[in-house]
Structure 1
Amino acid sequence: MFGFNKKKNSDALLTQYDIPTFPTTVLNILSKLRDPEVSINELATSLEIDPGLHVRILRTVNSVAFGLTHKVNNISHAVNLLGRGRLESLVLSVAVKDGLTKNNQVQWLDMSNFWAISARRAAMARGLANILHPNVQSDVFTIGLLQDMAVPVLANAGGNRYRDIYQNWLGCNQCDLTEPEQDQLHMNHAHLGAQMAEYWEFPQTLVDAIKSHHALSNEAPLSVRIAALIKGSSENDTSEIIVEKAQRMFNIDSTITIEMLGMIEQAETDGLISPGATLVEPTSGNTGIGLALVSAVKGYHVVLVMPDSMSVERRQLLQAYGAELILTPGSAGMAGAIAKAEQLSADNGYFLIHQFTNPANPATHQRTTGPEIYRQLNGKIDAFVTGVGTGGTITGVGHYLRQQNKDIRIVAVEPEASAVLSGGSAGPHLIQGIGAGFIPRVLDTTIYSDIIKVSNDDAIATTTALAKQGVFCGISSGANLFAAQQIAWLRKTGGLRYSVALGIVLTLLFVVPTTLFANQAQTKQGRVTWVNDGDTLQVQGVGTIRLIGVDCPEKETTDRDWKYLRHGCNDQHQLRLSAASTLKRVIQLCKGKQVQVQVGGDKRDRYGRTLAYVWLPDGRMLNQLLLKEGRAIVYRRFEFDQKKEFIRLESIAKRSRAGIWQ
């Protein structure tokens, strides 16, 4: 339902914030919000907006960070004024219709200070700007044509630089083109984003990532390279490339939104529902966001039932899209939410979508998501990795990919704390969006060949690492990427070229710099079965290294007493360290420099893991590796102040609230 803040009427708010530059059509939208019964379709009709234009705007420019003026200095007031975030595409449709986007600016906005339509979106934009351009003290805004890449336009630079770059790209003064006309000229968002990033001297890694993103897709960009592209690697290099399906902000035009649209349209085709009906569905938040969006556009009232253990942000976002939210005890899990939704359907005649049992769920992914991924990667896929919530994505996409190439590995991801697919027991976990605690009926358990269990800590740590690089996504996206790394790094044989990880939460907004998860300490040759003084390794990006001061046990016991520290892409390149070795080792470069290595010794975290650190001579960390049960992974990478030669291992047991090693 639409509506203003009940404490003040719309006229008072408009007067209070003095918005003289708003066009009449936008004021009409705001004034019509007084009527809580008006639907978005009725509003579009009354404003004489072409339905086709509205749908096009929703699907292509959809998540433009739409705001008011610099005089609205409180984001919550902006949300109230625009009457729930779901009006953004409608207002933008009006702007396109009335020619208000000429020169690629929403001209009636004050360009000196732009507020996003929600606190989350504004925080993302400002946080991204701080990461990319920390020296610029300014508020930021994003322009619709760049939203897919979420490249921030710095407010104090304004529209002229944007327009100049756009003119250079087109090679002519055609800046008054509408969005459909731009599409006809095949103007690609990622290309423009790359030029803008270069113009503003953003980090080169981001520029490279944006260009790589563009190279992957000749259509609306949806997929990005997330890891590898190791510097200097050739086309024939066997380094893994992990591709993350970057869904757009707030699940608009994402696979889950398409999934919910497919199920609703199938119900409409079957004559089960029509606009004006009330829909009900249990959700952990992911599908609920897509369902709320589709319901808002198509004119349905939606009631969502969600465990109260889900985040407050999810609740707020669902309510912002106009959904009625009912919470169930978190201890009952998704089963409790399903039971409550079924009760509401039976008692009130609400239509239950049945995402866990609805055959239209996987069918939609088989018809849309699978072909999209296969097409954009030119069929160069060895493994498809995704978290299992309803099971619709992995079933639908998996069947399509297997039809194209039976050798593609389909990998399921589930929470370690609720590993039902692996035969374990259901339990509470923090990876919202996957791990329902039971095996959904739509899930084809024969479609996947591997199951990766991801702990809460690993999922959160990966998500946090991405956020520090300016990539904002949900915890299940972190779990997907973590699992994809395991498939890429721990595979039994070499040769994997592409590994696809499909994020299913609000997920990624743009391309991550390509150095985030790249392991630069890769061996080019040699195998060390276990370590002795004087052993050498050839390490890419570092040179030849020699191990000195290594204290191995006098005799080998059993394999389980050894941990493997992987430096390469397959089993032919590994450094085998004894768990009984001394705490500190020194790796000496043959050029005379030394690198500090610290191994956790007998200190373990709650999962029985220990850490190994590799430090460069100038105090920078080369790699931090997590060792457990015969394997090791690059947990995260970062640089320290050069004054710090190394950080002592005593801090290994100290953990932050987010579960990150300190």
Structure 2
Amino acid sequence: MEVLNSYYPVLYRCPVVKLGGYAAQNRLRGEILAYLDFGGATGSAKDGLAESMLALATERGDLAPGQTVVEASSGTFGAALALACRVSGHPITLIVPRTLDAERMSYLRGLGAKLLYSSPLDGRRGMEQLARQTAESCGGYYMDYFANDDNPEHHRRVTGPAILKATGGQIDAVVAGVGSGGTVTGVGEHIRAWHDHIKIVAVEPYESQAIGGGFVGKHGIPGLGAGFVPANYNPYVVDLVMAVTSGDAQRAAREVLLTDGIPACPSAGAVLFAARQLIEKGKARRPLCIFSGRVTYD
């Protein structure tokens, strides 16, 4: 067995797995593949993404050694960025809603983040405004995850090529959830440059359909459905937008744990359920879904 000097090289070792148990359980006339992008330290695709975005900003000279990084996030990207900053020697300030639970606050502080609080009444836009002001006042670098092209660039360079290398292009759809829009945009742009036959499918919560132009509301799929169309979302590479209910996403996540032993989170369950629907409706026979996060069972 290989002995590694660091855990970080394995972040990009994301296997592609055939979900044979799930397909058999649901009697699907097709095959579902899953790209498991959740092997990092905080348990989501954001680990590799955060490291990549820091590296790209440093390469351009936008981020200096030891410079403070500022971001508006209390979710998986905030956690991944906090850890990546700690490892690379950058102080980090996260803008989080004042209503964030104490356990999450403690977790983010434990990763090295300084927390500043925004009013929940100001929403996402208020968090972003405070992040910009904070970066300006402290001379920091505002990561701006939802609009920074380094987000989809990571997926153009890493995720898209990895999927094509693993499958040889022998898939007929790639199914990705939309939160910041970086994954579906970056992967979609890379795959579209090489293969015309592969459909790019974007998935959002049924209860919050900003991408599809529908109503926006609360939902139970963390990481998807920001409630607005993010700047990083490129609609021109997306062939189909699918809406999945929170209940269907959660059930699919639980089911694939039992059938294939994969600890999928609800956002992974959403793309899995969408892939299942593609097969059932005759729109695909071998879709690949991107699992961007895992859930921990205590």
State if a TM-score over 0.5 links the two structures: yes
Match of 1:59 in 2: 9
* Structure 1 residue matching 2:48: 3-state secondary structure: helix
Q: 3-state DSSP class of the match of 2:236?
A: coil
Residues 283 and 473 of structure 1: CA distance in aligned 2, closer, same or farther (over 3 Å): farther
Structure 1: where are the runs of 5+ without partners?
A: 1-52, 63-218, 232-237, 510-662
Corresponding position of 1:488: 279
Question: In structure 2, do the counterparts of structure 1 residues 292 and 390 end up closer, same or farther at CA, with 3 Å as the change threshold?
Answer: same
SS at match of 1:428: coil
Q: Distance in 2 between matches of 1:431 and 1:350?
A: 32
1:502 aligns with 2:290: yes
Query: Which structure carries more helix by proportion?
Result: 2
TM-aligned CA deviation for residue 479 of structure 1: 1.4
Shift in Å, 1:310: 6.5
User: Higher Cα Rg: structure 1 or 2?
Assistant: 1
Map 1:605-624 onto structure 2 (within 5 A): none
Letter aligned with residue 382 of structure 1? D
Counterpart for residue 17 of structure 2: 224
Q: How many angstroms apart in 2 are the aligned matches of 1:326 and 1:466?
A: 38
The amino acid that maps onto 2:191 is L
Distance 1:309 1:431 in 2: 19
Instruction: Classify the secondary structure of the residue corresponding to 2:235.
Output: coil
Counterparts of 1:404-419 in structure 2 under 5 Å? 404-419=194-209
177, 183, 191: which one aligns with 1:393 = 183
2:269 alignment partner in structure 1: 478
| Conserved 8 A contact 1:334-1:437 | no
Deviation of the 1:432 alpha carbon: 1.3
SS class of match (1:257):
helix
Letter in 2 for 1:346: E
Distance 2:128 2:169 in 1: 38
* Letter of the 1:323 counterpart: A
Q: Is the 8 A contact 2:45 2:293 kept in 1?
A: no
SS in 1 for 2:34: strand
CA–CA separation in structure 2 for the residues paired with 1:502 and 1:447: 16
Q: Deviations over 1:363-415 (max 9, x none)?
A: 12111110001111121111111111111111110011112211211111111
Identify if the C-alpha distance between structure 1 residues 435 and 312 changes in structure 2 by more than 3 Å, giving closer, same or farther: farther
1:396–1:498: structure 2 CA closer, same or farther, 3 Å change rule? same
Correspondence for 1:375 among 165, 169, 172: 165
Q: Tell me: CA distance 1:267–1:468, structure 2 relative to 1, closer, same or farther (3 Å).
A: same
Identity among equivalent positions (%) equals: 32
| Unaligned runs of at least 5 residues, structure 2 | none
- Structure 1 253/473 Cα, relative in aligned 2: closer, same or farther at 3 Å? closer
Q: Is the 8 A contact 1:477 1:507 kept in 2?
A: no
CA 1:349–1:316: 2 relative to 1, 3 Å: same
What is the RMSD computed on CA atoms of the aligned residues? Answer: 2.9
Q: Is the 8 A contact 2:72 2:127 kept in 1?
A: yes
Which whole-Å deviations, capped at 9, do the CAs of 1:613-656 have from their partners, x for residues lacking one?
Answer: xxxxxxxxxxxxxxxxxxxxxxxxxxxxxxxxxxxxxxxxxxxx
Q: Deviations over 1:403-438 (max 9, x none)?
A: 221121111111122211111233332211121121
Number of residue pairs the alignment of both structures matches: 290
Using the TM superposition, give the Cα deviation of residue 352 of structure 1 relative to its aligned residue in structure 2, in angstroms: 0.3
Which amino acid is the alignment partner of residue 486 of structure 1?
A: Q
Q: Distance in 1 between matches of 2:74 and 2:235?
A: 21
Structure with the larger RCO, 1 or 2 (CA within 8 Å, 6+ apart): 2
- What one-letter code is carried by the residue in structure 1 that aligns with 2:17? V
